[in-house]
């Protein structure tokens, strides 16, 4: 259930921190990729090397002095779900009141992924009005809580405030990452179409298909039903239904045959094709004075025009600024449009990174920093799911 999922585990300072090592082990055994944050107080109860041995990576401990310039934003964007276990009254108070004074609170205030909080403290602390106010605030803000349970506490006390068992937390995370959204049907297009001039030559573009394939894989990891219509020769996760195409006409036919709740049109469909395609290779000696071109079908427009229209995301690879993409978002009547300048280093064709601007149907823009295409895919799906939930 958690195979390949990216889980951030934040461990704060309580005696129950030893259970977090067991939790990390259970998450790894379930197939998750786990990164750990340890607060200074947590390290008074358990060592960083314990988690390094379990997860295969050193825990993160501070906002400063890490190899990353901005560890809290990197971790916030990387994770698909964050867990705070155990969550002390102090950490709960900081997060509830927006106080980003350590790596845990700063990361939780940055991430758009779901957060599961497992409180652990003495009964008196749990029942204190200040703690209950903070808990109510967290719940209103959309945080999910599990526990606390009743049982043995530190110092021989017994009562409510005991952190729930690691296995219960794993089950909760699995449920969070396999919500009703698992029935969501996602259609993705990828790659650049090739419009034949003859059996050897074609009119096409330089799109690698990496962005579309990253989106399809990310959607599959979230449990969605994914169909990928692609002109790229790239692999996809086994649960992705792949439909290989070459031309714009083939892509239109494949897309038309797929029902979807979300259509993410990342393919770079050639705008024109040769009006005539030679059955045999055109000889150099015979010469070719000109190539007459005809427009290809607008695959994106065909999806927007459906009677049962899905949530539509378009893509715009441009070279002269975002204004043309803003106009396209409004004219094409998409729900979202992803713009990138292919002339920018690290954001062009064949790259593994991308710097995009997200544009909504009203033309409002949201610039994103340079990040991996996998991270772009994750944030884009977070936005789509959030917009769908808001509509519902």
217 and 68 both lie in a single domain: no
Cα 206 to Cα 212: distance, rounded to the nearest angstrom: 14
Q: Which residue blocks in the chain are alpha helix, DSSP H? A: 17-29, 48-55, 71-78, 89-96, 103-110, 123-127, 129-140, 166-176, 210-221, 248-256, 299-304, 323-332, 373-391
- 282 within a domain of the structure (yes/no): no
CB 11 within 8 A of CB 20: yes
108 and 201 both lie in a single domain: no
44 and 138 both lie in a single domain: yes
Range of the domain at 160: 6-176
CB 106 within 8 A of CB 95: no
171 and 191 both lie in a single domain: no
Residue 26: count of CB within 10 angstroms of its CB:
20
Q: Give bridge partners of residue 341 from the DSSP assignment.
A: 318
| Residue 24's CATH number | 3.40.50.1950
| Residue 218's CATH number | 3.40.50.10300
Q: Is 205 a catalytic residue?
A: yes
Q: Check: pTM over 0.85? Answer yes or no.
A: no
**pLDDT tens track, the chain, 392 positions:** 688 899 999 999 988 999 999 999 999 999 999 999 999 999 999 999 999 999 999 999 998 877 788 899 999 999 999 999 999 999 999 999 999 999 999 999 999 888 999 999 989 999 999 999 999 999 888 888 998 888 877 777 778 888 999 999 998 888 777 655 557 999 999 999 999 998 998 898 889 999 999 999 889 888 899 999 999 999 888 788 999 999 999 999 999 999 999 999 999 999 999 988 888 888 888 778 888 999 999 999 999 999 999 999 999 988 888 999 999 999 999 999 999 988 888 777 778 888 999 999 999 999 999 989 989 999 999 999 888 877 76
212 and 69 both lie in a single domain: no
CB 331 within 8 A of CB 363: no
Q: Label the pairing between strands 365-367 and 356-360.
A: antiparallel
Distance between terminal CA atoms of the chain? 26
Residue with tokens 């349970």: 149
226 and 157 both lie in a single domain: no
Query: What pLDDT sits at residue 141?
Result: 85
228 and 211 both lie in a single domain: yes
3-state secondary structure of 162: strand
Of 134, 205, 340, 354, which one is the catalytic site residue? 205
Residue 108: phi and psi, rounded to 5, are -65, -30
Query: What pLDDT sits at residue 1?
Result: 67
Residue 93: count of CB within 10 angstroms of its CB:
18
CB 254 within 8 A of CB 279: no
Query: What pLDDT sits at residue 318?
Result: 87
């Amino acid at each position: 259930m958690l195979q390949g999922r990216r889980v951030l585990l934040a461990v704060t300072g309580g005696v129950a921190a030893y259970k977090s090592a067991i939790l990390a082990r259970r998450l790894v055994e379930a197939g998750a990729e786990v990164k750990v944050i340890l607060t200074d107080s947590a390290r008074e109860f358990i060592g960083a090397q314990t988690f390094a041995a379990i997860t295969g990576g050193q825990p993160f401990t501070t906002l400063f002095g890490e190899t990353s310039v901005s560890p809290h934003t990197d971790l916030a964007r990387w994770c698909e779900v964050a867990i705070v276990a155990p969550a002390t009254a102090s950490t709960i108070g900081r997060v509830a009141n927006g106080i980003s004074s350590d790596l845990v609170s700063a990361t939780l205030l940055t991430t758009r992924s779901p957060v599961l909080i497992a409180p652990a403290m003495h009964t008196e602390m749990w029942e204190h009005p200040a703690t209950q106010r903070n808990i109510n605030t967290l719940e209103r803000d959309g945080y999910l809580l599990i526990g606390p349970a009743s049982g043995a506490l530190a110092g021989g006390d017994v009562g409510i405030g005991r952190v729930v068992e690691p296995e219960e937390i794993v089950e909760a995370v699995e449920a969070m990452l396999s919500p009703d959204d698992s029935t969501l049907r996602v259609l993705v297009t990828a790659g650049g179409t090739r419009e034949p001039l003859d059996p050897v030559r074609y009119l096409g573009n330089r799109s690698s298909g990496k962005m579309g394939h990253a989106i399809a894989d990310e959607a599959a990891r979230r449990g969605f039903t994914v169909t990928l219509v692609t002109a790229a020769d790239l692999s996809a996760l086994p649960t992705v239904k792949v439909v290989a195409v070459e031309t714009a006409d083939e892509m239109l036919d494949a897309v038309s045959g797929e029902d979807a709740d979300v259509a993410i049109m990342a393919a770079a469909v050639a705008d024109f094709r040769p009006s005539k395609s030679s059955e045999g290779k055109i000889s150099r000696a015979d010469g070719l004075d000109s190539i007459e071109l005809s427009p290809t079908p607008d695959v994106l427009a065909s999806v927007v025009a459906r009677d049962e229209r899905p949530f539509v995301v378009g893509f715009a690879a441009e070279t002269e600024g975002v204004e043309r993409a803003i106009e396209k978002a409004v004219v094409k009547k998409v729900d979202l449009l992803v713009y990138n300048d292919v002339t920018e280093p690290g954001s062009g064709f064949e790259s593994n990174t991308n710097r995009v601007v997200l544009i909504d149907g009203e033309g409002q823009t949201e610039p994103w920093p340079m990040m991996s295409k996998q991270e772009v895919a994750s944030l884009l799906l977070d936005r789509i799911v959030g917009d769908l939930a808001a509509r519902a």
